[in-house]
Structures are given as C-alpha cells and as structure tokens.
Structure 1
C-alpha cells in the first residue's frame, strides 16, 4: 500500500481583509486553485505553512475531496502559523517552540532583545498509515528577509546590515536547534523503530548550516558511498530526500538568479537502502509546469535499516495561476509500506 505525504507554503492564507485578498472573488479564486492542486496531488497528509485565519483553512478543506482532519499551531506576530491536514485522524497533537534549556538566549536586535523560542511554533502530530504510527512535524523557520528598526527593509549602513543579518541567522539556527530537539524526542534514539518525518519551509538550502543542524549526523547522505553502510548515526539521523529529485527540479524558488530550496527529512523507519518504488503518479498534474517566480517548498527524506517502508520524493509545479496564490511548489513523498 502506498501513501503520500506533502508540504506546501500557502502564502498568507487569510480571509478577505487587510491581510488577505481584497475581494471575496479573489479569495474564492485562491481557495479554488489551492484545492485543485491538493486534490490533484492526492496526498494523505499535507503539512502547511502561512495559515492566517483558522477559518480560512476550514474554508479550504471544505473544497477538498473527502473528509479531512486539521490541526494548527499558535500564530507568530504576523498572524501566520504552521498546520497539518490529513485524511486520517491526527492524534498526540503538540507544539515545538522552546529552545533547549542549555542554549543561551538569542539576540535579535541592536537593543539587546533576546528570544528563547521559535517565532512560529512547529506543529507535531501522529497519524496511522498502514498500521504504523508516523510522527509528522510541520515547520516554518525564520526567513532571510531582513527588517530593521522602525519597520525599515533597508539598512542605514553596511554595519547595520551585517548585524541584522547575523541576528536573523542566529535566530534561524536557534529555531533549527529547537526543531531538532523536538525530532529527537520523537525519534527517541531509535530511528529504525520510530517513523518520523519533518516537513516545511526551512528558508534555507539543504547544505546550509541550519539545515545540517536539523538533519543530524553526517557521513551517509544519499548519493555518497556511506549511504549503503549502516552506522551508529542511523539511530538519530534524518535523511534529506532532495537528491532523489532530478537536479533540474531540485529547488523551490529562484532568488536573484539562483535556485534555493527548503528540505524535509525522515527517520530510518521510513527508508530502505534497497531500491525505492516508483512514485505514485498525481491524478492530473501532467500538464503543470514550472514558473520561475515560485518560492520555497519542502521535500521529504529517507532513512535506512528497514525494508518495510520506502520513500520517493518529487516536486510538482503549480500552473502560473496557482503560483500567484501560493508560496511556491508543493513537494511530496510517496511511502510504500508493502511488506
């Protein structure tokens, strides 16, 4: 039996008003486009980011085929939050926010303001697929967009730009550390036994330091000689599935002419080092294409030591119409748990 888990930044999903679309018609068009892509993908579980009004997510889910269950984390200062929607019951729903106790407070501005928690809490939930309990974590880390005192988006000088660039990086690193701590609790030192998948908008590249914090021990990434050799790191490692996507499609947005990507990762319980199955085709996405205006989406990832589960990963391209109303291309992974 095959299951599909995806992730998508819905980009400011608010009802009409100051933060949302300017009219009901525009709002309806956005919901209709989002629902069409989600139904076409045929996901069983979808991690979502940038949900504004909880009622807006309810409006979206009503347009989807079949019954869906939803869960949301607390919002950030902008009023957006992470969520999970699923065709299966969501249980053990909880938030991940606080930095580990041993981490010092992180400075975020010139006034010395510090934080000890994620700006946008991640959301964790358990879903049962094929008789196996899977912990899914939806996350959205601090972006690279810099803002300055007084609501400015331009620095007074290069010194200020450098300092606020450091603050943003330190904050994203702290959030990645908190997310990793939450994943550690779910993996519980035995990734081969506990199925864990982290998905979302990490606002950085797979090889970035903040992403590496989340993935854990290096040395056996997909595509390296070490991948075929189980080691002690498998107990806690999370695998990034980006290498399973064709290189030309291995990104989620184009920024200043360069491609960038978020990532998603899973514990060894969801990955076999044997050849993975062919991905289950979306219902009707053959005609969809890439737009270079797309922004971040996130993937999924593999892991070793079990031959019950296998993952494949890919990105799908919304049409240009879809791209204008979402945060970029959704990414999904197919999980095949056929014995």
Structure 2
C-alpha cells in the first residue's frame, strides 16, 4: 500500500521576501499548520506546488517526523515551483517545460509577446514501492486568477479582462497538452502495465477542457458503461480520480465563496484497479478572492490536499 497526494502550499517563502509572511511568527505558524496536516495525512509521497526558496521547503521538512527526500523544479517568474516530498527515494528527476512540436507558441499579453514553455516546469520522478516502480509527474498550470500589466490584479475595463482571460486559457491549454504529450511518451501504449500518476494544481475543475485534455483517448471514465470493458484506448488513457472523492468533500479550494476542485490526481490503467480511498483533507480553507497578497500572513494554505491510497 502506498499513499500519494498533492498539495498547493500557497507561497511557501521565508519571511522578508516579497511574497512571504511579514513576520517570523507568521512564518512559524504557517509551517506548524502545514507540518501538522502532512503528519495527519501520512503520505508516502506528496507532490507540492508554490514552493518558494528551497530553504523554505527544508524548514517544513525539518518539522516532519522521520526521514524525507525532496526534489524541486526550477521556479517561475515570481519564484514559485513544483516538487516532491517523499518517504520513498526519488530517482531520475526530469523537468518538463517545452511545448511539444508542432504546438505553436501562445500569446500572453496585449503587446503580442508569446511563450513556447510552461510557466512553471512540471517535474517527473520515479519511486519504487517495493514490487513496482511508479512514475510521478507533478504540475501546476496557469492560474485562473488574472494579472494585468504593471502588476495589477484589476483590469482597466472589461475588454481587458476578457483578453487576459483568453491569454491565460491559451497558456493553460498548452500546458495541459505539454503534460499530456509527455505522459503519452511515458506510457508508450503500455498503460496496462506502466504505473503513472499525473497530479497537481491544474487550476480548473474536472470537467473543464484543459483538465479533460489530460485524459487522453475518450471512453471508460468512472461512471460510464464502458468503464469495466477493456478497449484499445487503455494503453494511453489516464483516469481522473475526482469522482471517487465523497461528494461533500469534493473540493480543494474555496473561491469567492464557491467550492472548487482544481487539484487533481490521474492514474494509468495499471493503477485503476488498485485504488483504495481518495480523499481531501486539511480542513476547510478560507475563501479567496483575486488578490493573492490578501492571505500573506495566514497560516496553512488556501488549498486542501488530495490524497490517494493505492493498494498495490
């Protein structure tokens, strides 16, 4: 049995940085809350997002019981990155960022600037559960929370809001396509045997176009008539485990008072039959708005972790 989860730690920076807590006391409260939740969840592997300095993650790991391994990807333009915290040894780390050919660069602003890379590189690592290797890909897609020129969080008018929403959606879609292409290459048509988990903050709900893009070939989703019937898509398909979360707990963030599930775990065919429980935890975070700085000194995170127990 192995417990694997994903959690956006919300701006895990040391105090004194632009995005970190203003005081040492606020920082210590954040670390205590995060460490307490991780201790309660008892993951074997936890994919993490919004890690600032590697030293800040080290501060968190020091507060966890036992020995842990960590790996981190390179940061984005504001200094946050994805990574893993694991009781199991992490091997063969590899970053994923470049859009796959022939996917073109996407526009990011009114000036016509473009990008051909994920804003935050995804990170691929391998763990061994004893009997099997499991491939893990952690990602954090472009946020739905919009930012505007000059560091503004409010648009000058509704036309600007609409344009920047399109830019953000284009980036998130390209990032999903990038991770999907990488997953397809890892599976190599052999998903019935290859154990792959793609997980992280996808910044959209289970039915969105960008999230479902990761599924691969359509059909056989949970709750469909074809779920228990093998088909030729099983070698490349990924299954989102969201439907296995109890209805009342099927959310990982509260935005403007609305509960959303934007953190996800998807698995290959080889793991679908071994899924035990799928849960969210960490209590109910306060509702967030469009200003990420509003929670700067709050303890814990504005996301709930998503945990999966695999009876493997």
Match of 1:309 in 2: none
Q: Distance between the aligned counterparts of 1:34 and 1:291, measured in 2?
A: 12
Q: Distance in 2 between matches of 1:17 and 1:52?
A: 12
Map of 1:305 onto structure 2: none
Superposed, which structure 2 residues align to 1:176-215 within 5 Å?
176-215=176-215
Aligned to 1:8: 7
Question: Does structure 2 conserve the Cα–Cα contact (< 8 Å) formed by 1:252 and 1:294?
Answer: no
Looking at structure 2, the residues matched to 239 and 80 of structure 1 have their Cα atoms a distance apart, in angstroms, of 28
Structure 2 distance, partners of 1:219, 1:32, is: 43
Give the superposition deviation at 1:327: 3.2
**1:107-153 deviation line (CA, Å, top 9, x unaligned):** 11111101000000011100001321101111100001112222222
Q: Give the deviation of 1:59 after TM superposition.
A: 1.1
Query: Gapped runs of 5+ residues in structure 1?
Result: 296-322
Match of 1:255 in 2: 255
1:144–1:203 CA contact under 8 A, matched in 2: yes
Q: Distance in 1 between matches of 2:34 and 2:96?
A: 27
- Corresponding position of 1:325: 300
CA contact (8 A) 2:265 2:306 kept: no
> Corresponding residue for 1:101?
101
From the superposition, tell whether residues 20 and 180 of structure 1 become closer, same or farther in structure 2 (CA, over 3 Å): same
CA shift, 1:291, in A, is 4.3
Q: 3-state SS of the aligned residue for 1:227? A: coil
Task: Give the deviation of 1:192 after TM superposition.
Answer: 0.9
Query: Offset of 1:324 from its aligned partner?
Result: 4.0
SS for the counterpart of 1:235 is coil
Query: Which ranges of structure 2 fall in alignment gaps of 5 or more residues?
Result: 290-297
* TM-score of the two chains, using structure 1 as the length reference: 0.85
Deviation at 1:292, TM superposition (A): 5.2
Cα offsets for 1:191-213 (capped at 9, x unmatched): 11110001110000100000111
Partner SS, residue 234 of structure 2: helix
Matched residue SS, 2:10 = strand
Partner of 2:25: 25
Tell me the residue number matched to 1:268: 269
- Is 1:290 the counterpart of 2:275? The answer is no
Q: 1: CA distance between counterparts of 2:255 and 2:27?
A: 27
- Compared CA separation, residues 113 and 291, structure 1 to 2 (3 A): closer
Per-residue deviation, 1:186: 1.7
1:226 aligned counterpart, secondary structure? coil
Task: String of CA shifts for 1:257-284, please: whole Å, max 9, x gaps.
Answer: 43221222011111218xx54x4999xx
The change in CA–CA distance for 1:292 and 1:12 in structure 2 (over 3 A counts) is closer
Q: Distance in 2 between matches of 1:79 and 1:294?
A: 21
**Correspondence list, 1:144-223, <5 A:** 144-223=144-223
Does the 8 A contact of 1:294 with 1:328 survive in 2?
A: no
Give me the whole-angstrom Cα distance separating, in 2, the residues matched to 1:38 and 1:193.
30
Shift of 1:226: 1.3
Structure 1 residues 156, 28: closer, same or farther in 2, change over 3 A? closer
What is the DSSP-based 3-state SS (H/G/I as helix, E as strand, rest coil) of the residue aligned with 2:162?
Answer: helix
Is 1:73–1:83's contact at 8 Å kept on the other side of the alignment? yes
Aligned residues between the structures: 303
Over aligned residue pairs, what C-alpha RMSD do you find?
2.1
Higher relative CO (Cα under 8 Å, sequence separation at least 6) belongs to 2
- Kept after mapping to 2: 8 A contact 1:177/1:213: yes
CA displacement 1:40-99 (0-9 Å, x = unmatched): 111000000000010011111111111000000000001000000111111110001010
